[in-house]
Chain A
Amino acid sequence: MNRLNQLPTLRIDPAEKRTLSYRGKSLPGVAGDTVATALFANGVRIFARSLKYHRPRGLYSLDGECANTMMDVDSIPNVRTENTLLKNGMVVKEQNVKGSAEFDWMGFIDKFDWMMPAGFYYHTMHKPAAVWPHAMKQIRKAAGLGEISPDYVMRGRFDELFLKADVTVVGGGAAGMRAALAAAEGGLRVVLLEARPHLGGCFDYRVSDNGDGTPLYQRARELAEQVAATTNIRVFTHAPLVGTYSNNLITAHQVGSDSDSFTERYIEIRSESIVVATGCIERPLLFDNNERPGVMQVGCAHRLARTYGILPGKQAVFAVGHDLGLEAAIDLFDLGLKIGCVADIREDGQNPDLLMALADRAIPVLKGWVAAKAHGKTVTKVTLTTVEGTVKRDFDCDLLVASAGLTPVTGPFIMAQAKMGYDNHTGYFLPTELPERMFPAGRLTGVGDPRAIEASGRLAGLQAAAACGVSLNGELDAAKAATAALPGPERGCKLVTAPVKGRKSFICFDEDATIKSVKQAIDKGFDVPELVKRFAGVGLGPGQGGIPGHNLPLFVAKYTASSATPKPTTLRPPLVPTFIATYAGAHHHMFKRTPLHKSQKAAGGVFRNIGVWKRARYFSDDFDCREEILNVRGNVGMLDGSTLGKFRIHGPDALKALQRVYVSDMSKVKEGRIKYSAMCNDDGCVIDDGVVVKRGENDYYFTTSTGRAGATVEWIRYHTRFDGWDFHLVNLTDAMGVINLSGPNARKVLAKVTDADLSSEAFPFSGYREITVGGSIPARAMRLGFVGELSYELHVAASYMQAVWDLLEEAGAEFGIRNFGVEAQNVLRMEKCHIILGQESEQRTNLLDVGLGFLWDRTKSACKTVGAVALRQAEKDPNRFKLVGIRMEDDDRPARDGALIVDTKVRGYVATMRKSFTTGEAVGMALVEKPLSDIGTRLEIFEDECNGVRLYARVVKMPFYDPNGERMKA
């Protein structure tokens, strides 16, 4: 198609070619085209088939207000092609069709609409129950929009912006630009958001005079230049508003162009005040076949020609209810469109200049007439009628420009919880009370005169500045006076529907809801818009009520003959579809590495995410870790335990704080000894365990489990928040690393790198010593027995970790020292029945359940120990779980971690179980109900995918290895 290449209003660059692929063909487009306009320029009229009836659909609003032009673009379904700028090589496909959009094998469904009244699914989808899984499959195939491919990987770069602004202006039309300029005068930081790819709004494509002798499009460009020259206005184009929240928080997203570094980005703006200048969309005219391809709104037809250089048809009929329709008819006629007739719903009230211009061009105007029916798969003919339905006339045409009136875009107010009311003069739903520091401007207030639009923008901009504390010295009053002197809100057209029965009059395109189905819903008693919306499916589609939002409450009020004022349905974010990828942003994987990460990796470590950390779980392909385990049991191994939480607490009240959170009597912690203890929550459930050492008077060093490190400071401060105690907490988790040296040869290895006396007399089990390694490196050494062997845990400054590790590795070479990972440690400690919280416990497991009751000191009530009161009560409860040792009847078939212990119901679960290389038995720990906890009790185990076959185990004594602890105390 030849474009109107010379128009001064164009937003395309006809010289810069683009191509897209559609139905196996390469089609030409130009820079500035949207996917939709490029297809339209290539003769595509049917873009998609509708959700339920498979009716053909085409361009309607050109702003993506309905699903009509949603297509699959580059394998992304439901792309709003009217809002998507064409990029070279895009692959575009139709959705919800069998065959093609042009010829759809499912098109016959439209004839069977009588079988599917409002609430069809609710009525029929329950019996007979057996049929519905099959029926649902067929319906799913026949109905719906785009299809998502589970294997599709989202490409592109996604970004986030978090802005702070004084004033944010939503809408970059004339009013929005004037508001931004006015607000920026005093030096405030202003953000201007515009949904379309360019500023200009409703001025952008119009050639009519602004009242001062300047064509509107030119005025829009002047204002855009002024905005661009104002350094304290930050403009985001192609950035639709997504949500408004309390505290004047706004979210939006911005679509990146070819030259941008992002595909789409999330924008969150915190502003002191907000100007809403979102303008108007058009209120659809309801008549039979009102959504046929070839029927489009005024702005759509006008912008196709003026913005994209495409004449929307050859022979047109207009059926409109506002002056913009008349203006468009005149302009499009001058651009070469033949117009058979303009039907104006209004009997009077038209701008006389426009009527004169129509008469000059010999375009017949029928006042008080409206479209009744569109004919043809794409429009070939239209029947017009008087508003009363008394007389009818047919006109041949391939374009029907139809629009009942205007609808203000009030989403930002609705989402900011503004109460909405019906304004009788304009016929709009407008906020009855404005949210704090939020100001309306431009066409959404009802004004249509270009000067009035600009003046209202300036006024709102100044009001927003004043709300930021700028003193305006009379400028505000002047702006108010200027606005008052100009024409005010215009009277809106009140017609809701043409005089038709409405079986094929679509009030909501996305959900294929007709006037008839709305009537059916109301007849069933769903007589308020919010109920009709849900029962008949009006405005639940991806367009978020853009098409039916205004008409539905008007129609309901009319049909129910309600004397109450109509009530609009509500809106919720996101106002426009946003990619999940945009919300996810750029940083998907964040984790911490231990100081030994590199050398662990070089040593063949296989890493897993454990909490916020990457940890080496295995050091070979053998995920049973046989070699790692046997080496610790028989020789010596080293583990990187740096992820342990590590803290210093000191100050006059440090001991009091420890007494509050630990269940044991912490006053008994002696210097040179480690104290193992646990923390509970107020329900007595155990949340953490670790060791505490005393390094001086009111100066302690303690460890927490890896997962609790992040919450420990918060926890201790929370539980002491009323006491006013004087202590300091220092999180040393990242500052210190931990090496666990374990095995019968551990002492020999360590002795080679330190002068400290490591004999069992000088440094016994449970001892704590501060030693020097390698001549000068200080290390805090603890003799622990987590894995059940002679074991030294060295806490070393992170920066020295690698050096100490290397020293030990070298010293251990003659013994065959080797790494062991988290999984080997897990098995080793399991054989000793040393618990790991989170594995041998869950949310409801208390200290007593896991057998740690011995840690609890009940003589320190005065300390108000967290959890003590609940433990006292739990002690008397016979119905609690108990941690027991279990052994499988078949040692070659250990149950999986998490397998359920059952009889007629669930009685517990397996916490950890492995085949022990040390003993050859399949052993583990389980939490079971108390009656099942006696030694010898036979347990029945259920696993996922067990096909009805149960496993059996018996309760056995704990631990399974070295019951007297001789090895770890050696």
Chain B
Amino acid sequence: MALTLTCPVCGKRNGYEFRYGGEDKGPRPAEEGMTPSAWCDYVHMNKCTAGVQKEWWFHRDGCGAWFTTYRDTVANLEVDAPEVTE
């Protein structure tokens, strides 16, 4: 696999070792007052950014850590965290 990812524990490794865990959408919302459509959006709706996005990866064939990283989805390459613009 052309993709490499940088595990916070094990360092830069072949993409084969990891499982994709989806876009970073933040913590699970509270159940109280949750509408069906809001819940469905949290679970199923994705931004599908063509460009750099923050996402979750699991080091399946390694240390077993979940971590976030940034990936350019067009080039399919891990990239540095974008600089925060305010």
Contact = CB atoms under 8 A, between A and B. Distances in A.
A683 B43 contact: yes
Interface stretch (A353-361, A589-597, A648-656, A715-723): A715-723
A714 B58 contact: yes
A873 B30 contact: no
A723 B26 CA distance: 11
Interface in A399-441: 417
A662 to B, nearest CB: 16
* Best-surrounded residue of B2, B3, B39, B60 (most CB of chain A within 10 A): B2
Contacts of B27: 722-723
Nearest to A683: B43
A870 B38 CA distance: 11
Given A246-B2, A714-B60, A721-B56, A868 B77 contact: no
Contacts of A717: 58, 64-66
A748 interface: no
A723 B27 CA distance: 8
A247 B4 contact: yes
Interface residues of B, number: 26
A713 B3 CA distance: 24
A270 B58 CA distance: 22
Contact of A247 (B2, B19, B31, B58): B2
B86 interface: no
A245 interface: yes
B34 to A, nearest CB: 6
A718 B66 contact: yes
Contacts of A722: 26-28
A247 B27 CA distance: 32
A714 B31 contact: no
B51 interface: no
B36 interface: yes
* List of 10 A-B pairs having minimum Cβ-Cβ separation, nearest first: A245-B2, A722-B27, A249-B2, A861-B31, A682-B43, A247-B2, A721-B66, A246-B2, A869-B39, A873-B36
B80 interface: no
Interface string B4-33: 100000000010000101000011101110
Contact of B31 (A249, A718, A864): A864
Contacts of B46: none
Contacts of B2: 245-247, 249
Given A718-B21, A869-B34, 18 more contacts: A245-B2, A247-B2, A270-B14, A417-B75, A683-B43, A714-B58, A714-B64, A717-B58, A717-B65, A718-B56, A861-B30, A861-B31, A864-B28, A864-B31, A868-B31, A869-B31, A873-B36, A873-B39
Contacts of A718: 21, 56, 58, 66
A757 to B, nearest CB: 40
Nearest to A863: B31
Contacts of A713: 64
Contacts of B66: 717-718, 721
Nearest to A874: B36
Contacts of A721: 56, 66
B49 interface: no
Contacts of B32: 861
Nearest to A715: B58
Interface string A703-746: 00000000001100111011100000000000000000000000
Interface of A: 245-247, 249, 270, 417, 682-683, 713-714, 717-719, 721-723, 861, 864, 868-870, 873
Contacts of B65: 717
Nearest to B30: A864
* Best-surrounded residue of B14, B26, B75 (most CB of chain A within 10 A): B14
A247 B64 contact: no
A719 B56 CA distance: 12
Nearest to A681: B43
A669 B27 CA distance: 27
A574 to B, nearest CB: 15
Given A718-B58, A722-B26, A247 B3 contact: yes
A245 B39 CA distance: 38
A417 B26 CA distance: 34
Contact of A246 (B31, B36, B77): B77
Contacts of B43: 682-683, 870
Interface string B29-64: 011101010010001000000000000101010001
Contacts of A682: 43
Contacts of A719: 28
B67 to A, nearest CB: 9
B38 to A, nearest CB: 9
Nearest to A868: B31
* Best-surrounded residue of A247, A249, A723 (most CB of chain B within 10 A): A247
Contacts of A723: 27
Contacts of B1: 249
* Best-surrounded residue of B3, B58, B60 (most CB of chain A within 10 A): B58
19 contacts: A245-B2, A246-B2, A246-B3, A246-B75, A247-B4, A270-B14, A714-B58, A714-B64, A718-B21, A718-B56, A721-B66, A722-B28, A861-B30, A861-B32, A869-B31, A869-B34, A870-B43, A873-B36, A873-B39
A868 B32 CA distance: 11
A665 to B, nearest CB: 15
A861 B36 CA distance: 15
A873 B40 CA distance: 11
Nearest to A722: B27
Nearest to B75: A246
A84 B16 CA distance: 33
Contacts of B28: 719, 722, 864
